[in-house]
Chain A
Amino acid sequence: MKRTRNRSILLLILTVTFFIGLIYFAVNLIIHQEEWASKPMNQYVSGSGGLDRAGTIYDRNGIVVASSSNGTRNYSNNVNIRKAILHTVGDSTNNIATSVQVFYRKQLIGFNALTGYSNNSHDITLTLDSEVCRKVYESMENVKGTTIVYNYKTGEIVCLVSTPSYDPENIPSDLLTNAKYDGAYINRAISSTYAPGSIFKIVTAAAAIDTIPNVMDRTFTCNGSKLINGELITCMLEHGEIDMKTAMAKSCNIAFAELAVEVGKDIMTETANKMGINTKYYINDIPTKSGNYNVSNADDNALAWSGIGQYTDLVNPISMLIICGAIANNGTPVKPYIISEISDGNILTNDKTKTEYYNQMISPSTNSVIADMLDYTMLSHYGKDMFEGMDICAKTGTAEVGGGKQPNAWMVGYSKDEDFPYAFVVVVEEGGYGISSAGPIAVTAMKALLP
């Protein structure tokens, strides 16, 4: 008996081995839990999986823009609100990769290590004003482009519209074939970059003011074109004798081309980097596409073009918005965000976004000169009554894209009024002149925000 008993040690060894295996599994599970749970095959998160029991998404005024009931996902009652905020909220097919419903699926369904995907859905409150978005959407329904407005004091993005859009409740069958819907899945504010054209003169100006003493007192001569390094830089008009402030207001290419060359590659690159042209930003956790300012292989002519937002320059609309926010905020921008709160109904565990700042982009002295120039641009060139009842500083851009296409139109700017602290960016693809196509949309957006 003793012998048999001693041999049963084998059973003990087997049991111990079994427990080691079990511990190995448990440790692995704990380490990889999030990763495994997010695998695309997982029905909780893939396809429309889980959305039918996901939490509610509210706009800033508590208006429900997406919610689930009886196993279906419902969006706003208003078709234009649905289209206006589609790219922020997302649809039920998860084709909009940067949307909240894709990016925050786990939170909406309520995944956490403790309770997994059990009925623990979280609600998300956006900083968007769905009514403002609707009005802006209606003004740009027939163009492709984007409009973003954010509060440069708090960081809340109150308006973000990207077109073309579609109705998530009634997805058009020709979405992928009709040219009208080209890139409808893309949130142009976050995932696109465009040639900036004249709005890039803000960056060139900052570089010049920083480095060239008394540059504001200098006079430039514009004859409509100029040879730099053997090739022409052209201007829209012959501006004649012109100072820098007027050059900004009249958007004179020659002045800023000369400045870019004078400042040189290094300083231009440094300034562009400092102002976040090449930065990948995160809106909450949603990454933006970084722009491109790279003159390492540029000759003087190319450098000159780069200073007026052509050459290979590309700018992401969000990064432009942040530059506007910086100028409005004495050179230091507030971080924009689009989700103000993720809540599971428990006050203790609510996740609220706080106002945060980026590093200083523009020195306060340079910044006040630029702010003054943008103010003057609005005043002298577009007229302050364009934005009725507001005090706006702005700059337009008309960026040549080549290929026989109409230029992309930009308008960027901000309200000087600290009680109405909004900065905006409007881009219209192939819109032609910035002021004529992007301008009215900017007006609509800012007007909609007026109390």
Chain B
Amino acid sequence: MSFIFNFADISVRIILPILAVIIVYEGYVSIRHRRREKRPLIMLADVDSNNIYPVYYWENSIGRRKSSDIQIKDMTVSREHAVLFRREKAWFISDTGSKSGVYLNGKLVRGSVPVYVNAVLSIGSKNLMLKRVSDCINDISSDSSAEKNKKAVHPFLLMLTVSLFLLFLTIDASLSDNINKKDIFIIFGIFVGISWLFYIISTFVFKRATFELESIALMLTGVGIIIIAGTNTRQAYVQLIAGSIGIICYCCLIKFMEKTDVVAKYRFSISILAILLLAINLIFGDVKNGAQNWIEIGSISVQPSEFVKIAFIFVGTSTLNQLQKSKNLTGFILFSLICIGALCLMGDFGTACIFYVTFLLISFMRSGSITAFILGIAAAVIGVIVILNFKPYIATRFEAWGHVWEYAQTSGYQQANVLTYSASGGLFGVGIGNGELRYIFAATSDLAFGVMCEELGVVLAIIIVCAIAGLALYTRGSILRSRSTFYSISACTAAGLLLFQAALNIFGATDILPLTGVTLPFISQGGSSIISVWGLLSFMKASDERTYGVKRK
């Protein structure tokens, strides 16, 4: 009997990684699918010569610079002359501080002015006429064979696979003696119900054509909830509710970001709100585990710094025309200093570190300066040395770095436990709820990766982590065709932030990096964290042009 039982147990745990691989693979294949082929949106024809400039992007820089989207090799054209961009209603032109100005049908352009077909733009000595693509090239399709579209799985099937995966995970959990079978299936039922409701709303109300990003995020969130349910049913419900709030935030944020001009209007208010949140945190915050990053509201405790992450990205990014006009980063640097300073005062160095990396990412995405990026990292190293002088307890963490076994009972306690139990799980794990690591302090949040290794097995844990890292690859893929640099930069930053946070969590807990105390995106227990992660995911979704562009028929 016990042999048959074991067999069921083991086979479930072998099916799980297979399903996970299918989901991750199919998910990312679909992401590449149904993209617009690389062909021009519109053309700019030189009136004086026969030169034609194809316009590929929603936002195009025009200038002499080689890296301009539309490069005009003419000394009368400024290096970064203007930006031609498309909005819902029409194409617009915006002068971005050129020497000679931009003229539309002979009139000097101030601010953003709509450009209609057959209008003539005078840039330097060049006169360019906006033309439909079909007027210039007869056979459009001849140019578009480059992109191969691999047949993608239907979003419905992908969601079905995700549900199946979570079902098997729940069955695995229910086999453990430590887990209440009824509770775990109720939690599974509610979560899958919410997931499908989300799918239906996204598909039939918002009429979105794609659901891969959401499917993968739902899978990850589900894994987190089921792991938490293994220790604490109540916490699993909290995570479930927070996850739902996160999904709602996600939908709202995507709606909010649909019009980049609206975002620009709110940017200042968002930055003030973020600073206020941090100030409230500093004044009224509670100290938990050495960091004052909690606010208690009734029986709910909130971590405001999690929400500030979203605000941080909003404040840091911008559309191309605004970017080219004002290269000044002072405001953003000031805002970043306030945020990071506040986090350091709270003693939340893990989050401060994430913010700093996010800051570097944004400044690099905006300026493209490698020097600044390297200087930034150098400054960080100096900063760490300074911090170590003021907060010696962090230094004790460094002493254990690389020597966790010597400090296994003191400063390396968590890491040593993660390593020993990760090794105890084997390739396929001991099953959800059967692990020992989950009884260590903060296991399902800070040590979530270790818990996954032990209970789900190293194979599945790594696949799940790859799914998180895959979000970055997804973002990289969608950035090119984003409708605005706002989307590109924000998505790139959000993905970088999540990736860095995942790296801190995983490599900190496994003694590869010397820092613990941040959550693993989607998986870790933490209501504020899961809401924030879904919020960050909305940047990635918004950067995909299909989100707003392609509608379901």
A residues neighboring B (CB under 8 Å): 1-8, 10-12, 14-15, 17-19, 21-22, 24-26, 29, 32-37, 39, 41-44, 111-120, 345
Contact = CB atoms under 8 A, between A and B. Distances in A.
Contact of A26 (B61, B320, B365, B462): B462
Contact of B428 (A3, A43, A114): A114
Main secondary structure on chain B at its contact with chain A? helix
A1 B69 contact: yes
6 contacts: A1-B61, A2-B68, A21-B503, A32-B419, A37-B424, A118-B430
Contacts of A18: 469, 472, 499, 502-503
Contact of B420 (A17, A41, A114): A41
Identify the interface centre among A5, A8, A14, A36: most chain B CB within 10 Å of its CB. A8
Interface residues of B, number: 71
Interface in B455-513: 457-458, 462, 465-466, 469, 472-473, 475-476, 479-480, 482, 485, 488-489, 492, 495-496, 499-500, 502-503, 506-507, 510, 512
B59 interface: yes
Contacts of A34: 423
Contacts of B421: 42
Contact of B320 (A1, A15, A25, A39): A1
Contacts of B364: 7, 10
Contact of B10 (A19, A41, A118): A118
Contact of B424 (A4, A22, A42, A120): A42
Given A18-B469, A115-B427, A118-B430, A12 B476 contact: yes
Contact of B423 (A8, A24, A33, A43): A33
B3 interface: yes
Contacts of B453: 29
Interface string B414-450: 0011011111111111110010100000000000000
B140 interface: no
Nearest to B71: A2
B106 interface: no
Contact of A115 (B2, B10, B469, B507): B10
A24 B503 CA distance: 13
B363 to A, nearest CB: 11
Interface of B: 2-3, 5-6, 9-10, 13, 56-61, 67-69, 320, 361, 364-365, 368, 373, 405, 408-409, 416-417, 419-431, 434, 436, 453-454, 457-458, 462, 465-466, 469, 472-473, 475-476, 479-480, 482, 485, 488-489, 492, 495-496, 499-500, 502-503, 506-507, 510, 512
Query: Which 5 residue pairs across A and B have the least CB separation, nearest first?
Result: A116-B426, A36-B423, A1-B57, A37-B423, A116-B425
Contacts of B479: 4-5, 8, 11
B473 to A, nearest CB: 6
B426 A115 contact: yes
Contacts of B61: 1-3
Contacts of A22: 462, 465-466, 469, 506
A117 B408 CA distance: 21
A134 B294 CA distance: 65
Nearest to A345: B3
A120 B428 CA distance: 12
Given A11-B496, A42-B421, A118-B9, A25 B426 contact: no
A3 B67 contact: yes
A24 B512 contact: yes
A342 B141 CA distance: 69
Q: In this complex, which of A4, A21, A26, A120 has the most chain B Cβ atoms within 10 angstroms of its Cβ?
A: A4
B489 A4 contact: yes
A112 B428 CA distance: 11
Nearest to B465: A22
Given A18-B502, A112-B426, 13 more contacts: A1-B58, A7-B364, A8-B492, A14-B496, A21-B506, A36-B424, A39-B420, A41-B409, A41-B420, A118-B426, A119-B6, A119-B9, A120-B10
Nearest to A3: B67
B57 A116 contact: no
